[in-house]
Every structure is written in structure tokens, then in C-alpha cells.
Chain A
Amino acid sequence: DAKTTQPPSMDCAEGRAANLPCNHSTISGNEYVYWYRQIHSQGPQYIIHGLKNNETNEMASLIITEDRKSSTLILPHATLRDTAVYYCIVRVPWKDSSYKLIFGSGTRLLVRP
């Protein structure tokens, strides 16, 4: 039940903005969009999440289209340490008032010096 589609790889220059797209055309109204990243096979690291509105924190910005069928993660000033696999994830309600994160295949971002 893959919910997200991402390009397999991207690259950007150090210091420039990295814009990572994600399609989630089958997302339901109560399902959030999350972004995590995984650096060199470490555990995934939370970046940001949103439902309808654009969100910003100290790491990144999340732009969600009005129809919610796609979103873009923006790293405003990419550094070499941002080289990682970035996962666009849909959070769906699960049992016991919990939820599950449905991971896609991710985008491998390479930040070039």
C-alpha cells in the first residue's frame, strides 16, 4: 500500500537550496505527511511534518499543495552533512489510537562541494 512516490536520487550544490518533491495522490483527509532522513544506514531522523498548511522549523520547510496530492521538502542551505536518503511518509491511523508510518523508497540526496 505504497502511498508516496519520490525520485530515486537528486543532487545539489553546497549552500544552495535542496528541493525534494513527493507525490501522494491517494492521501486521505486525516493522513499527515512526514519527512524523515537516514544518514548512512543510521536510524531515521525526524525532519518535519504537516497536514494542510506549510510548515517550517529549524531544519527545513514543508510546502503542501492545496489539493494535498504532492509536497516539497526544502532544505534552505544544504551542507555536506545533509547527504542522506530522504523519506516522504504518510502517517495513517492504526489500532489502539496509534498510527503507522508508511515509508516509500526515498530519495538519495547528494550534496556536492
Chain B
Amino acid sequence: NAGVTQTPKFRVLKTGQSMTLLCAQDMNHEYMYWYRQDPGMGLRLIHYSVGEGTTAKGEVPDGYNVSRLKKQNFLLGLESAAPSQTSVYFCASMISPLVETQYFGPGTRLLVL
């Protein structure tokens, strides 16, 4: 059981470039989340999904898109990266609100120049 995995671990982009971050979980969880963490701060919710084929906006969704084509994968896309998107990105999954615990991946460090 790998839990929640994220690829890549680290990436450097130039302003205006695009990329996709992949989150995968092998726990058959319904709910998946994308957060960003800026230096010295807690995590903020970007987008989330309550099941395969569904996505919804979180607190800070601007500049990001997501897709959940398969239950085990949740993709976060940056269409035109900006320096303000330099951050550490964490994915999390949860079986259901009844179980209440989110399990986090190891994170992806993104630097936008």
C-alpha cells in the first residue's frame, strides 16, 4: 500500500509555461484534495473532488484546473505558470466525510521563475 503519491517531487518552470501535477492513491478513497503551502504558512485548499468525474473549487482556485478521470488519480494543471504559484503542493485523499481523516502525499515543490 503506497498510500498517496505525487509526481514530480520538484519542478522548475518559466513564467507562462504549463505543467500537470499528478496525485495517485491506492486506498480506494472517494474524496481527493489539492492544497498549496507557502513559506511559514499552513495549507490552503485549491480544488477538491468528491468522486470520479467530479471537481469543485476550494479557497484559492484561480490559475489552476483539475481533472478526476479515474478514481485513483487527481490531476492539478497550471496552464500559464506565474511566480505567485511558486509553492509546495500537497495532495490528500479521504475515504468519506464519515471517516474524517485526510491522508496527505509527500508534496511537490514548484519554482516558477
**B40 to A105, Cβ gap below 8 A?**
yes
Q: In the complex, A103→B15 CA distance in Å?
A: 29
Roughly how many angstroms separate A98 CA and B97 CA in the complex, as a whole number? 6
Answer whether residue A81 sits at the interface, using C-beta atoms and an 8 A cutoff: no
B88 sits at the interface (CB 8 A): yes
Per-residue CB contact flags for chain A residues 86-113 toward chain B (1 = under 8 Å, else 0) read 0101010001111111111110000000
Given contacts A43-B90, A105-B40, A105-B42, contact A99 B104 (CB under 8 A): no
Contact pick for B104, options A43, A104, A106, CB 8 Å: A43
B59 within 8 A of A: yes
Cβ contact within 8 Å between A104 and B42: yes
Which residues of chain B are near A102, meaning CB under 8 Å?
42
Task: Give the size category of B's interface with A.
Answer: 20 to 34
Q: Are A43 and B45 in contact (CB under 8 A)?
A: no
Report the bound CA distance from A98 to B102 in whole Å: 11
Q: Does B41 contact A (CB under 8 A)?
A: yes
Contacts of A101 in B (CB 8 A): 43, 45, 102
- The docked-state distance in angstroms from the alpha carbon of A42 to that of B108 is 10
Chain A positions within 8 Å of B44 at CB level: 103
A98 to B4, CA, bound (A): 19
Contact, CB under 8 Å: B31 / A103: no
Query: With A and B bound together, what is the CA distance between A91 and B43 in angstroms?
Result: 13
Contact call B88/A49, Cβ cutoff below 8 A: no
Chain A 36-81 interface residues, beta-carbon cutoff 8 Å to B: 41-46, 49
* Residues of chain B in range 3-31 having any CB-CB distance to chain A below 8 Å: 4, 31
Q: Is the CB of A97 within 8 A of B58?
A: no
Considering the chains assembled together, what is the distance between the CA atoms of A34 and B7 in angstroms? Answer: 27
What are the 4 A-B residue pairs with the smallest beta carbon separation, nearest first? A103-B42, A43-B104, A96-B50, A103-B43
Which residues of A are interface residues toward B (Cβ below 8 A)?
32, 41-46, 49, 87, 89, 91, 95-106
18 pairs of residues in contact across A and B, judged by CB atoms under 8 Å:
A32-B100, A43-B104, A43-B105, A44-B90, A45-B104, A49-B100, A96-B50, A98-B31, A98-B48, A98-B50, A100-B48, A100-B59, A101-B43, A101-B45, A101-B102, A104-B42, A105-B40, A105-B42
